[in-house]
Amino acid sequence: MTAGVTREWLAQQAAKAGAPVKEGWKDGALTVFVPGAPRHFKGKGNRYTVSKHTKEWRERTAVRLLEHRLPGAHLEPWPWKPEQPKRITFTVYCRNAFDGADNLRLVCSPVKDALGPRGPRKPGMGLIDDDRDSSGHEFHYQQTVTRKAGSVYGIAVRIEMAT
């Protein structure tokens, strides 16, 4: 596993503070929690810092999705085709609120990229065919601010068929 996300680390985080969401499959929807301190680098830092941050979030998301795609030892296909319209909800668990919907979208951008198509330079998981608004997928953004000691921060992703 990459970027410090191991099964042991996740178990330790869950035991310490309790995961903010229940992960897994329920009623045809998949919920995955990607741990880490949510932030964006728009206009901040140099391009190498931004690139490293983006790559780490994409890899962490891909690993978390892959864990829920691997029941047992063999690779199971996703229950949805990439082009089928989906409702994808990103819930950011953070210490400080992000201003406006634009900043929330920026924070979720690397996670959203990990859901996309695979390519030579894209580590996407092939859950969606395109992340543009015109693709037919619905993207919703929420945030939950908590400052309790021992809180686990990250981004929860819920993927379900659009109705």
Output DSSP code: residue 54: H
Helix (H) / strand (E) containing 14: helix 7-17
- For the entire predicted model, the pTM comes to 0.81
Per-residue model confidence (pLDDT) at position 139: 93
Return the pLDDT at 142.
93
The packing angle between helices 47-69 and 100-115, to 10°, is 60
Split the chain (163 residues) into runs of 10 and give each run's mean pLDDT: 59 57 86 86 69 84 78 63 92 87 85 83 79 86 86 90 83
* pLDDT value of residue 118: 73
What is the rounded CA–CA span in Å between residue 141 and residue 156?
Answer: 10
